[in-house]
């Protein structure tokens, strides 16, 4: 295992960087898109609810790999040329955003409806009550399940390996076939994924204790 | 303080688990006599490709892997075990074939595997059973005419992870960017969708792709020699010798040439006379 780190340190580091970059981009956008669809799903407007429902059901129920392959193969053929890294990151963002939307929705709905009524009766608009009264409480409720989604997202970024996105898993496949030491290579990569996910896991735990 | 200690403890425990698991891998190699076992069960288990036209391709209609390598393996099984010997086929990829051989899931690899000194340290190779060479496949009308025109900044070459050809292309076109996909069908899909300028691997495999996909052709001839060998686990001398012996017999009986004709006679640009033995 040590020899893998010594001989392929550069490759592993590139892989770690690409995985981290993809995860951060996907995490930020998935959180924004997911929250937006969660709010739409709880809106009084029926049209908005239907649009959100369709989006969530489509991206939640198609395998991540299929979404990614669609962006890698079909989009460059007809629309615009995008690299493996970009298609993987877009696929991961859309896929994760559907799960995050469902998580955040459950948070919004677990806030007592009386809160909204109370806020509206003090003269706040619907958006103001959402922004200042409902959402802060909703996010606090859903920190633990949201943490799960974030960790899943980091691990799911290994889909980049399929579309030559130069991430950790891609480098692992390359190194394993080059060094012919599959077992120790995948062990190394497992440790590197732990290095990415464990701090995230601890941070979410810390956040949960601080806010709840 | 206690909290921090317990956290550090958890991380250390996880690391120890991972490292000790890693250490297991070196001791799991079993000492068995493959030839004796195979004679007893009257079956040889071959690791073959299932995604490679002409060599080993899964026929979805009857779920059988078909190709030159599969037929050659069947003929060699009959030489080693007698007329009633059975050949069992397990699908492998460039990445999985070495681990599968090491842990005994397959007895031998016949999966378009080039004999290289580096690989020969891990497995034993038979004599070459097919002399391939690396080439490139491009879309018809592409400005790329041979491997030299790929050697420029911005050129993207597609290959398959774990194959010898991705190492070679770095020598012949060091300026090109190499993308390694997980198997040949993936690589071909990527070529079709414009993710790369050329696909590189052994010519035998590329010919298979150009038959299936009009509009794509092999250009520029071969630029390396890639002799394919049958790999067996280290320390299986009797089985290794039996394989070499069986290969000679299949070649001498004329069966080898029949199989070459069966699979390659309608391939455009294939050198039949050069391939016959």
Q: What ipTM score was computed for the predicted complex, to two decimals?
A: 0.76
Q: If pLDDT is split at 50, 70 and 90, which confidence band does B29 have? A: very low
Q: What is the pLDDT of residues B224-275, one digit of tens each?
A: 988 999 999 998 999 999 999 999 999 999 999 999 999 988 777 677 777 7
Contact yes or no for B199/B137 (Cβ under 8 A): yes
Closest C-alpha among A81, A34, A165 to residue B180: A165
Q: Do A76 and B195 touch (CB under 8 A)?
A: yes
Q: Do B193 and A74 touch (CB under 8 A)?
A: yes
Contacts of B195 in chain A (CB under 8 A): 72, 76, 83-84, 164
* Domains of chain A (ranges, CATH numbers): 2-211 (1.10.3720.10)
B63 at interface of A, judged by CB pairs closer than 8 A:
no
Report whether pLDDT(A74) > 60: yes
Q: What is the pLDDT of residues B122-136, one digit of tens each?
A: 899 999 999 889 999
Q: Do A173 and B180 touch (CB under 8 A)?
A: yes
Question: How many interchain CB pairs under 8 A, A with B?
Answer: 73
Q: Do B18 and A187 touch (CB under 8 A)?
A: yes
Q: Do B182 and A173 touch (CB under 8 A)?
A: yes
Report whether pLDDT(B115) > 50: yes
Q: Cα(B168)–Cα(B174) distance, rounded to whole angstroms?
A: 9
* Domains of chain B (ranges, CATH numbers): 34-131+226-275 (3.40.190.10), 134-219 (3.40.190.10)
Contacts of A72 in chain B (CB under 8 A): 190, 193, 195
Q: Show which of residues 181-210 on chain B sit within 8 Å of chain A, judged by CB atoms.
A: 181-182, 186, 189-190, 192-195
Mean pLDDT value of segment A175-193 = 88
Residue B99: C-alpha distances to residues B44, B123, B167 (Å): 18, 11, 20
- A195 CA: distance to closest CA in chain B (Å): 10
The residues that bridge with B87 in the sheet, in sequence order, are B44
Q: What is the pLDDT of residues A139-172, one digit of tens each?
A: 999 999 999 999 999 999 999 999 989 999 999 9
B173 Ramachandran zone, left/alpha/beta (phi>0; psi -120 to 50)? beta
Distant-in-sequence, close-in-space partners of A78: CB < 8 Å, separation ≥ 6: none
**What totals of helices (H) and strands (E) does chain B contain, helices first?**
11, 13
Contacts of B99 in chain A (CB under 8 A): 182-183
Position A193 scores a pLDDT of: 95
Sign of CA dihedral A131, A135, A140, A146: negative
Other residues' Cβ atoms within 10 Å of the Cβ of residue A123? 8
Q: What is the pLDDT of residues A34-51, one digit of tens each?
A: 999 999 999 999 999 999
Q: Which residue has the tokens 């397990």?
A: B90
Kindly state the tokens that stand for A10. 């550069």
Lowest mean pLDDT segment, chosen from A15-29, B10-24, B78-92, B120-134: B10-24
Q: If pLDDT is split at 50, 70 and 90, which confidence band does B199 have? A: very high
Q: What is the pLDDT of residues B58-72, one digit of tens each?
A: 998 998 999 999 999
Contact yes or no for A168/A17 (Cβ under 8 A): no
* pTM for the whole structure: 0.74
């Amino acid at each position: 295992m040590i020899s893998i780190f010594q001989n392929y340190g550069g490759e592993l580091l590139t892989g770690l960087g690409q995985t981290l970059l993809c995860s951060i981009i996907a995490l930020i956008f998935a959180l924004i898109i997911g929250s937006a669809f969660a709010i739409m799903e709880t809106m009084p407007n029926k049209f908005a609810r239907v649009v959100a429902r369709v989006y969530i059901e489509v991206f939640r129920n198609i395998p991540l790999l299929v979404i990614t392959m669609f962006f890698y193969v079909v989009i460059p053929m007809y629309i615009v040329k995008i690299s493996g890294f970009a298609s993987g990151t877009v696929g991961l963002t859309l896929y994760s955003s559907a799960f995050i939307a469902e998580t955040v929705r459950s948070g919004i709905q677990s806030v007592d409806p009386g809160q909204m009524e109370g806020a509206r009766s003090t003269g706040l608009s619907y958006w103001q009550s959402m922004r200042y009264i409902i959402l802060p409480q909703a996010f606090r409720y859903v920190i633990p399940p949201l943490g799960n989604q974030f960790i899943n997202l980091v691990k799911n970024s290994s889909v980049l390996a399929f579309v030559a996105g130069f991430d950790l898993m891609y480098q692992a496949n390359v190194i394993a076939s080059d060094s012919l030491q599959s077992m120790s290579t995948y062990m190394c990569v497992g440790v590197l994924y732990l290095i990415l996910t464990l701090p995230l896991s601890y941070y979410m735990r810390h956040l949960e204790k601080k806010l709840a | 303080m206690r909290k921090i200690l317990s956290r550090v403890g958890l991380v250390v425990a996880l690391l120890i688990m991972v490292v000790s698991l890693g250490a297991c891998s070196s001791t799991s190699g079993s000492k068995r006599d493959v030839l004796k076992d195979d004679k007893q069960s009257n079956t040889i288990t071959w690791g073959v490709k299932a995604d490679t036209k002409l060599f080993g391709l899964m026929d979805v209609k009857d779920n059988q892997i078909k190709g030159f390598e599969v037929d050659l393996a069947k003929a060699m099984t009959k030489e080693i075990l007698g007329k009633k010997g059975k050949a069992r086929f397990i699908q492998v990829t460039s990445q999985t074939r070495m681990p599968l051989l090491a842990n005994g899931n397959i007895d031998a690899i016949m999966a378009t595997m080039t004999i290289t000194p580096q690989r020969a340290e891990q497995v034993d190779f038979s004599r070459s059973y097919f002399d391939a060479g690396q080439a490139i496949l491009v879309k018809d009308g592409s400005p790329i005419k041979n491997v030299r025109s790929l050697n420029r900044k911005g050129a993207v070459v597609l290959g398959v992870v774990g194959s010898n050809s991705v190492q070679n292309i770095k020598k012949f076109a060091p300026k090109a960017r190499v993308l390694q996909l997980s198997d040949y069908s993936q690589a071909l899909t990527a070529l079709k969708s414009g993710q790369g300028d050329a696909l590189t691997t052994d010519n035998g495999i590329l010919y298979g792709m150009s038959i299936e996909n009009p509009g794509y052709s092999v250009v520029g001839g071969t630029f390396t020699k890639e002799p394919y060998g049958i790999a067996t686990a280290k320390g299986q001398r009797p089985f290794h010798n039996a394989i070499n012996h069986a290969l000679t017999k299949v070649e001498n009986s004329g069966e080898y040439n029949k199989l070459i004709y069966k699979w390659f006679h309608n391939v455009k640009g294939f050198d039949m006379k050069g391939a016959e033995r």
